[in-house]
Structure 1
Amino acid sequence: MAAGYAELLRTRYAARLLAGTLIGRLPNATAAIAIVLFVRDQGGSYSLAGALAAVYGLANAVGQPLLGRAVDLYGQPRVQLPAALVSAAGMVWLALAGTGSVGAAYAAMVLSGLFTPPLEGGLRALWPGVLGGREERVHAAYAMDAVAQEIMYTVGPLLVTLCVALWSPAVALLVLNGVGLLGVLMVVLSEPSRTWRSAPREAHWLGALRSRGLLALLGAFFFVGMALGSIAVAAVAYADDHGGQAVYGWLMAALGLGALVGGVFYGARQWAGAPERRLRLLVGLLAVCYLPLLLDVGPVAMTALAALAGVFLAPSLACAFIVVDRHAPAGTVTEAFSWLVTFFGVGAAIGTAAAGPALERGGVAAGFAVACGGGAAALLVLMLTQRAMAGAGRSRAVAGSAEGVAEGAAEAVREPLIKN
């Protein structure tokens, strides 16, 4: 397994693009905890902290597909770098101005969230060209991408707490966004990013959303996101009854570890058959693994169950990336991947909101029941939309995205000739 991933990373530009994307996404991955710590340090209430974080998340959900469509139309550097600068400016505005003016704080969060660069979709659009259009290597890269996300969401909060311990929450905001800009530069200054061009697209106001198969996938992963959002809240309530914050930390770490292990094993081999069928199986297993969380067990056993609940998350995401590529209309690949980020994020936010009332009415088990319901709903969506998701005849990992890279490279050659 390690050898397979190492081989991918030895491919020219692969390690740079993966590392740059992860570093560039740090401001977004750590925004929620960084905003809450900053607002509390300023003397603001938890309500204000939660509201600002929610506004940031909502603006991010709106901005990702819009910026993704812009990337498909105008290329990566022209969109990613200006967006990253504006997003960082919003966080700098919050860090320097504080929360004295609530209206200004909300405006800063809208600005920062709305212009968060769509690095996830951008990276997945680049993989086919970087890996020579070989489908099996692209699919392995998607799995590696899903695993790397789990690492980022584990390390990111630790970096926030470290910066806060060394300096202050305000400095943490500035440092993380400065580091994020460096990550964006690593990506957009690379040759694959500079020369990438989307495949020709058919003009349509719905863009990627005119694909029925893609809509079915997005609906399913809305509910997967809902399940994860509710687990995060239910785990807090469980920890309050069984030992406090340390138990919560172990539960969330175990969830991430389970996803990491599952993703590593999933990406270590090639899978036969249609990815749509495989996705139904993976999401079904994910839903089944949420059920044991309903058990009233001690912290050690619950930590093991949390790890089990995470095992099929990264494989489901990796398989979803393949399905997105197969169903995205030509010329909309970045936008399509960005819509997946949006639906997943909005689902997580709704799951977080739904878990609160469930906990108040039915206790910890009711909170985890929201996660079980989300998993079941995701599987149901995939089962009911089998015909729509069977509509993709081939993967554009080779035919679409690689074609876009080739066109971009040709354009890069033509430009000097035209100028001369």
Structure 2
Amino acid sequence: MRGVLGARHAVRLLGGTLIGRLPVGMASLAVLLFTREHGGSYALAGLLTASYALGQAVGQPLLGRLVDLRGQPRVIGGAALLATAAFAALAAAGPHRGAGSFALAAAAGLFTPPLEAGLRALWPAVLPDAAHVRAAYALDAATQELLFVAGPLLVTLFADGLSTAWGLVLTGLLGLAGALVVITAPPSRSWRPGPREAHWLGPLRSPGLLALFGAFLFVGVALGAMNVGALGYAARIGDRNASGVLLAAFSFGALLGGVGYGSRTWTGRPERRLRLLTAALAVCFLPPALGPGLLPAMAALTALAGLFLAPSLACAFLVVDGHAPAGTVTEAFSWLVTAFGVGAAAGSAVAGPATGRLGDGAGFLVAAAGALAALAVQLGSAPLLARSDRSGSANPVN
């Protein structure tokens, strides 16, 4: 990890990306608080949040493709400006059931700059060798958890100290500030994708990547269901703060797992490691479903599950790097982000009714089922994942 952080521009790129991606962890809560303060219903807040999420799911692969075609500064900078303008316009217009509010929320998501995918495309050009790139992917995956801890906290501080409207505006401005930090860095300005074969499917023509995206759709299901499971457990013990404790424990476990995974050298193909890590993730979601009564025990179990999330993501990044057709690496990483995000939304949608019918532990059962489904996809597509396509990065990493 020291070698990664000691590399020239690495801290700037990682820090800028984290700041620029804070809106991902802030937008849903910011929209909810803004809508409720202006008299909107929870149903309206949910629809506006869904519009934002849908826009983001559509926009990330499209913007990723534009980055592969046009480079990072123009695409990321332009998208960040448009997303900031959409947040500000929504804050000025107010939450309404008219098409305008939904369009603005969707635009804020649609133009979310693809900083996450862009950083992963940059690592091979910034770091000296494959071992450092592997460590960077692990650090990248581990630090993602900070977004979902710091993001809601910042929204709450902005809403209490200023207003919920300013919370929306500052959400957009943080995204713009982080994007500017990244795109003004020399590696971002000089990065160019590899030669690209003209094909409308882009990275989706790789069977291995399609299998990986399918698997990580279900990993997303597991994560989304786990969030509902934490809420169900809090309701069962009558402590509304317990869900925050469990989610923080999960994030802490993921942070430790990512740092630990990145601090050692691994041999063999990442596809096999990914199967083992996904299996461990599925197994670790089962004990929380049994619902031990003591909060410390439950927090320890969720932290144990979190240990395997960041290493799984880091392995997935390596698989993407090895399978993305030439000139499509940013778009490929963007599709992984989209699959994961759509899966998380689906996991929440499934776990909610399951909790109502089967009890408070059902969210964790859905999470375990999602991870097992991800493992099944990987096992069923093992021949496709074993066949590496031409990589889209300058320095393919195994």
Which bin holds the TM-score, normalised by the shorter protein? Answer: over 0.9
Q: Which consecutive segments of 4 or more residues in structure 1 shift more than 3 A?
A: 393-401
Q: Which amino acid aligns with 1:199?
A: G
Cα distance change of structure 1 residues 103 and 394 upon mapping to structure 2, 3 Å threshold: closer
Report what 1:22 is aligned to.
18
CA contact (8 A) 2:84 2:172 kept: yes
- Are 1:231 and 1:371, in contact at CA under 8 Å, matched by a contact in 2? yes
Q: Which moved more, 1:273-282 or 1:388-397?
A: 388-397
Q: Does 1:333 align with 2:310?
A: no
Task: Indicate whether 1:252 and 2:247 are aligned.
Answer: yes
Shift of 1:250: 0.3
Instruction: Specify the SS of the correspondent of 2:360.
Output: helix
- 1:197 is aligned, of 186, 192, 211, to 192
Deviation readout 1:272-323 (Å, 9 max, x if unpaired): 0011111111111111111111112122211111111211000000110000
Q: Does 1:90 align with 2:86?
A: yes
Aligned ranges for residues 266-281 of structure 1 at < 5 Å? 266-281=261-276
SS of the counterpart of 2:118? Answer: helix
110-119 or 235-244, larger mean C-alpha shift: 235-244
Match of 1:216 among 177, 186, 211: 211
1:202 aligned partner, one-letter code: E
Following TM superposition, by how much is the alpha carbon of 1:110 offset from its aligned partner in structure 2, in angstroms?
1.2
1:269-308 pair list within 5 angstroms? 269-298=264-293, 299-308=295-304
Q: 1:192, 1:400 → 2: CA distance?
A: 17
Q: Which residue of 2 is the match for residue 418 of structure 1?
A: none
Q: Please name the residue that 1:164 is paired with.
A: 159
Cα offset, 1:396, TM superposition: 5.7
Q: Could you tell which deviates more after superposition, 347-356 or 230-239?
A: 230-239
**Structure 1-normalised TM-score?**
0.92
Matched residues in 2 for 1:397 and 1:245: separation? 46
**Residue 214 (structure 1) shift:** 0.6
Q: Which residue of 1 aligns with 2:307?
A: 311
Q: 1:11 aligns to what?
A: 7
| Kept in 1: contact 2:288–2:298 (CA 8 A) | yes
Worse-superposed segment, 55-64 or 24-33? 24-33
Deviation at 1:7, TM superposition (A): 2.7
Task: Give the letter for the 2:336 counterpart.
Answer: L
**Contact 1:331–1:400 (CA<8 Å) still a contact in 2?**
no
The 2-side partners of 1:301 and 1:46 are apart by: 33
Q: Which residue of 2 aligns with 1:178?
A: 173
- What secondary structure is seen at the aligned counterpart in 1 of 2:298? helix
The aligned residue for residue 138 of structure 2 is 143
- Report if aligned partners of 1:230, 1:354 keep a CA contact under 8 Å in 2: yes
1:369 & 1:202 partners in 2: Cα distance? Answer: 43
Alignment partners' CA distance in 1, 2:260 and 2:289: 27
Deviation of the 1:29 alpha carbon:
2.2
Q: Contact between 1:135 and 1:397, CA under 8 Å: does it hold in 2? A: no
CA distance in 1, matches of 2:345, 2:256: 25
Higher Cα Rg: structure 1 or 2?
Answer: 1
Q: Deviations over 1:23-75 (max 9, x none)?
A: 11111221111111111111111111111111110110010000000000000
Matched, 1:53 2:17: no
Report what 1:187 is aligned to. Answer: 182
- The CA distance in 2 between the partners of 1:9 and 1:58, in whole Å, is 34
Output the CA distance in 2 between the equivalents of 1:220 and 1:202.
26
Report if the CA contact (8 A) 2:325-2:391 is conserved.
no
1:206 matched residue in structure 2: 201
Q: Distance in 2 between matches of 1:379 and 1:359?
A: 23
**Distance of 1:169 and 1:244 partners within structure 2:** 26
Paired residue for 1:404? none
How far, CA to CA, are the matches of 1:400 and 1:241 in structure 2?
A: 48
TM normalised by structure 2 equals 0.97
Is this contact kept in 1: 2:329–2:393, CA < 8 A? no
Q: Give the counterpart of 2:121 among 122, 125, 140.
A: 125
One-letter code of the match for 2:174? V
Whether the 8 Å CA contact 1:207–1:332 is kept in 2: the answer is: yes
User: Amino acid of the residue matched to residue 348 of structure 1?
Assistant: A
- Shift of the alpha carbon at 1:400? 5.8
Contact 2:194 2:393 in 1 (8 A): no
CA contact (8 A) 1:199 1:400 kept: no
Q: Where do 5+ consecutive residues of structure 1 fail to align?
A: 402-420
Unaligned runs of 5+ in 2: none
Partner residue, 1:106: 102
Pairwise CA distance, 1:112: 0.8
Deviation at 1:6, TM superposition (A): 2.8
Residues 382-397 of structure 1 mapped to structure 2, 5 A cutoff: 382-392=378-388, 397=393
- 1:212-261 CA distances to partner (integer Å, 9 max, x unpaired)? 11111111100000011011112112101213321111011011011111
Label 1:100 to 1:376 Cα distance change in 2 as closer, same or farther (>3 A): closer
- Report the Cα distance in structure 1 between the residues aligned to 2:142 and 2:389, rounded to whole angstroms: 28
Deviation (angstroms), 1:397: 4.9
CA contact (8 A) 1:256 1:307 kept: yes
SS at match of 1:47: helix
Give the distance between the partners of 2:244 and 2:124, measured in 1 at CA: 37
Shift of 1:393: 6.5
In the TM superposition, what whole-angstrom CA distance separates every residue of 1:191-227 from its partner, at most 9, and x where no partner exists?
Answer: 1111111000111110000001111111110000001
Greater CA drift, 366-375 or 119-128: 366-375
Distance 1:22 1:52 in 2: 24
> Offset of 1:101 from its aligned partner?
5.3
